[in-house]
Structure 1
Amino acid sequence: MQAKYRISEEDYVNTMKLFAKLTRQQIFIYAALALVLIALAVFGSLVVKAGAIGGLAGGLIVTVLGRYIIAPIMARRHYRKYKAIHEEFTVELLQDGVRFISPNADGKLIWNHLVKWRQNDNYILIYPMPRLYHIVPKSVVSDGFDVSLLINRLTQHVGGPV
């Protein structure tokens, strides 16, 4: 089963947000760090309190600016410069993996070579490397592609989404 699709600029920005979504482990680490800084801000000496409060404020500002302002701007810039992403893609679900075809490339990713995958309501990201992914919009279901079968096979062969 095959489906053809294009990635729009908005798709690209939205998949970058999904890519940047924090894992449970990252949330735990950030929460632990925040608790340590809060404890230092409450119980530390005056200099330590000032540093801890500055760290909390700076971390919050950097997180908000980075995630909601800078990252979308950078994603839009990358999309405009990345000419190959503007072309039509074909995804094909195979017994032993997934095949992606574009005018410039044709490649098969076999299940045991995939690192991880993640999804939201609109997209599936398939990772052959920790920071490189292929985008499959769930809207390909309208082209006859069985998205639920892809999810089942990813779960069976790669594990649950991260």
Structure 2
Amino acid sequence: MNIELEGQIAERDYVIAQWLDIKPRPFFLAAGVLILLLAVVVLWQAFFGPPKFHAGSGKWFVLALLAYMAISFGVWPYKAKRTYRQYKAIHATQRYVVTDEALKVESDRGHGVVPWSDLVKWKFGNGLFLLYPNDTIFYIVPVRLFSSAVQVEQFKELLRRAVNA
């Protein structure tokens, strides 16, 4: 296999990659849904429940929920965008060559070879592949750089076979 890709990683790609990186596993997603349901019950009780429950605990919960929402949907994306703008090397046009042995990456800033055996996991979603050499660092490969859906499927199959095999 030999797939050649070329393009830039856009700010939007970088922000989406950050979200995809923290995408929860099914267990944590289920736990989050249960916590959300509990939050709805607590809020309902705080505003419409027995007077004894109106002591203010629900109001603190609402404040905490609003703070969480502000961080998740305001501060966090802002910081991801700022990090992208500061990281000048990511703005360069990237050239990728996918082979059966490795991913070769080069730009005017440098080049490297990442053997598939060096990757511990990968994720796919929202138009991106994330390739992880460890649990916290990832390479971003946008799907829009592939010339066809067939190439995307070939790449997925290669990752299934070669990464963490």
| 1:106 paired residue number | 111
Decide which moves more: 146-155 or 54-63: 54-63
1:153 pairs with 146, 153, 158, which one?
A: 158
Q: Which has the larger radius of gyration?
A: 2
Structure 1 contact 96–111 (Cα < 8 Å) conserved: yes
1:13 counterpart = 2:15: yes
The 1-side partners of 2:137 and 2:30 are apart by 24
1:115 Cα deviation from its structure 2 partner: 1.6
Structure 1 contact 124–137 (Cα < 8 Å) conserved: yes
TM-score, normalised to structure 2, is 0.74
Q: How many residues align?
A: 156
1:117 counterpart = 2:141: no
The 1-side partners of 2:33 and 2:94 are apart by 40
Counterpart AA for 2:70: L
Structure 1 unaligned regions, length at least 5: none
TM-score, normalised to structure 1, is 0.76
CA RMSD, Structure 1 to Structure 2 (Å)? 3.2
1:29 Cα deviation from its structure 2 partner: 4.2
2:96 pairs with 88, 91, 97, which one?
A: 91
The 1-side partners of 2:67 and 2:40 are apart by 18
SS in 2 for 1:61: helix
How high is the sequence identity, in percent, across the aligned residues? 23
